[in-house]
Amino acid sequence: MTNSSQVFFFSFTAYINSWGLTYLYFTVILILYAFIVFSNVLLIVVICTNRSLHEPMYMFLCSLFVNELYGSSGLFPFLLVQILSNLHIISAPLCFLQVFMVHSYGAVEFLNLAVVSYDRYLAICYPLQYNNKMTPKKIAVLIAVAWLYPLVIMSLMMPLLPVKLCGNQINKVYCDVHSMVKLACTERAITNIYGLTATFSTILVSLLLILYTYIKILVVCFSGSKQTRQKALNTCTPHLASILNFSFAGSFEISQSRFNMSFLPNFLRIFLSLYFLTAQPLFNPLMYGLKMSKIRNACKTVLLNVNQ
């Protein structure tokens, strides 16, 4: 396809020959997706149904788990179909839908992590004023902003994506903005500028808020009692681990989109690209479910009641 034209489907070129292991790959991916759905749904149900978990921090974590379901649903159903297919193609409408879900998921994830860090900052630095500062109205506003801002940003960006393209081959295993912009016949400066601005504004604002809150938390920890330090450690460790995990995945995804990473083996590029969309949905339920005793005990209660 050399002339500018309306594209009705896209072809993924990053898939590698499975050498007869198609059904093994399909089974592994299906098990991962089933685990993601089960673990995140379990934690959402536990938080929503257990009154002792109706606290700001757990409400924010519930929002995080909902986003894990949303993001993984933007990848795994498409991926499972592609693994079983020999053509590795996707229709244009589904490709645009995947672009919307993948990029809005990443932005919502960063903002949710920033909101959780802000909540921990108030709880540790202002324990006596915490309930007055973190009101139900404020909780609702923070969750709404974490979701609505990325969805609005992506809704405004979708019309800017090129419709007339000079190719239909995407060198990845799923659709993203940069891959589609690279197929445009003419320079898409507006799309690139808007995309970079939206990406870095979301990431920069989130990371600055996270950095500020943890500096304040560290100051309180070093100047406080051993009990204060232990409380901060117990509540912040899962969150810090989640931030580092997603930051690594996001950094590679941005680098792969903006720079030539052809020196890396194709298998490694595929793995790290998928890591961006699977790291958090797999990691967060395990980290928060195992590390935080209230969630862990509530999950045990729910599972025991189901088995009886």
Q: Is the pLDDT of residue 226 over 80?
A: no
The SS3 of residue 115 is: helix
Confidence of residue 233 (pLDDT cuts 50, 70, 90): confident
Domains and CATH numbers, the chain: 5-307 (1.20.1070.10)
Mean pLDDT of 198-222: 85
Q: Report how far residue 35's alpha carbon sits from residue 282's, in angstroms, rounded to the nearest whole number.
A: 8
166-180, 185-199, 240-254 — which is least confidently predicted? Answer: 185-199
The SS3 of residue 74 is: coil
Write the pLDDT tens digit of every residue in 105-147.
Answer: 999 999 999 999 999 999 888 888 999 999 999 999 999 999 9
Using CA atoms, how far residue 42 sits from 74, 250, 276, 291, in Å, is 20, 26, 22, 16
Confidence of residue 86 (pLDDT cuts 50, 70, 90): confident
Which residue type does 141 have?
Answer: V
pLDDT at 306 (0 to 100): 65
Q: Report how far residue 92's alpha carbon sits from residue 8's, in angstroms, rounded to the nearest whole number.
A: 5
Helix ranges (DSSP H) in the chain: 22-49, 56-73, 76-84, 92-125, 130-133, 136-157, 177-182, 189-223, 226-258, 266-291, 293-307
Q: Report how far residue 133's alpha carbon sits from residue 125's, in angstroms, rounded to the nearest whole number.
A: 12
Q: Which residues contact 78 (CB under 8 A, 6 or more apart)?
A: 90, 94, 98, 174
Write the pLDDT tens digit of every residue in 10-59.
Answer: 888 877 666 667 888 889 999 999 999 999 999 999 999 888 888 999 99
Q: Report how far residue 121's alpha carbon sits from residue 132's, in angstroms, rounded to the nearest whole number.
A: 14
Q: Which helix (H) or strand (E) holds 75?
A: none
